[in-house]
Amino acid sequence: MSNGHGPDPASAPLEPVERLIVVVLFEGVDLLDVTGPPEVFSLVPRETDDEAGYRVVLAARTLDPVTTSAGVRVLPDLTFAEAATRSIDTLLVPGAVELDSARRVHALTDPELVEQVRTLAARARRVASVCVGAHLLAAAGLLDGRRATTHWSTAEQLAAEHPAVEVDADPIFIRDGEVWTGAGISACLDLSLALVAEDFGEGVALRVARQLVMYLKRPSGQSQFSVPLEPVSATRRAEDLRHFVRRHLGGRLSLADIAAYAHVSERQLARIFKSELGTTPAAYIESARVELARGRLETTDATLERIASACGFGTADTLVRAFRRTLGITPTEYRLRFRTG
């Protein structure tokens, strides 16, 4: 109520709230993990009446330039110590990897950096990791008892080093309470769009996605799994079996056929697949066929019956059931979302 001496403060328009996003910056960090999310957040004011939107800052140990994995140098906006005095809306934690002597990818976790992440997380409303940044969250104890994802290449490492974390390498991002984890590389955009959707609604997130020329904001359940992108098997025999399966996906492909090709029993074949590829022969064949069908759904107008036949499913009903098991959606829904031609 006005006191007659000026406008009533209760009736004055509310000032837009600026959401502070702190991105953790350190030597060797993956460049896209750092630059991708801010591109998404920067488009929010263009697509909403909220002029404040987000304020993104990069925090590092010092204000010296940081060299990313791509060799590009980035300047921090403030130090970890300064960031720890702020009220943080979202703490965004990217990651870094190295190759071992066998050229296998290994996620890096520096103890001092882990402690900084733990400190900053206590100041944040929510925490999100990008790609292998999940390893830093796990090392800080922030994923214990939670379901989380990361880049498929380091999922086994995450599960082995942190048994208290329920690792699911398939989704492109996962939310468990106020802790979010994202999968590999470009999935940082999907995760960022999901954060925008939580703050400003699905409509704003979809308009931002269009500005980024993303076909559609992908749901969290969208699989990051891709058969051709699997790591090279530990043995030449298992690698040869993978190629044999892919060459014969369109025809009748039984376990007996694969076992005969490998000159082993079906029981021995199952042991090879389990130890080398982490799955059963039947599950691998179905996943490979789904992958083949995904490509045809994305790039052709072929009917489901034709795609099912060409990919070895036999019937459209079998194709639909496989898609539901593997991706959680139907082939028709997948085509509507990801058709590129």
SS3 (DSSP) at 19: strand
Residue 19, φ and ψ in degrees, nearest 5: -95, 120
* CA distance linking residue 69 with residue 108, whole number of Å: 12
Name the region of 29 (left: φ>0; alpha: ψ -120 to 50; beta: rest). Answer: beta
Q: For residues 105 and 76, what is the distance between their CA atoms, to the nearest angstrom?
A: 27
Q: Which residue, among 118, 184, 183, 176, has the nearest Cα to 147 in the 3D structure?
A: 176
Q: Which of 21, 113, 124, 131 is catalytic?
A: 131
311 classed as catalytic: no
Structure tokens at 315: 């019937």
For residues 297 and 299, give the distance between their C-alpha atoms in angstroms, rounded to a whole number.
6
**DSSP category for residue 182:** E
Tokens representing residue 336 in the block: 């509507």
Give the DSSP letter string of 117-177.
Answer: HHHHHTTEEEEEE-GGGHHHHHHTTSSTTSEE---GGGHHHHHHH-TTSEE--SBSEEEET
The catalytic residues are 131
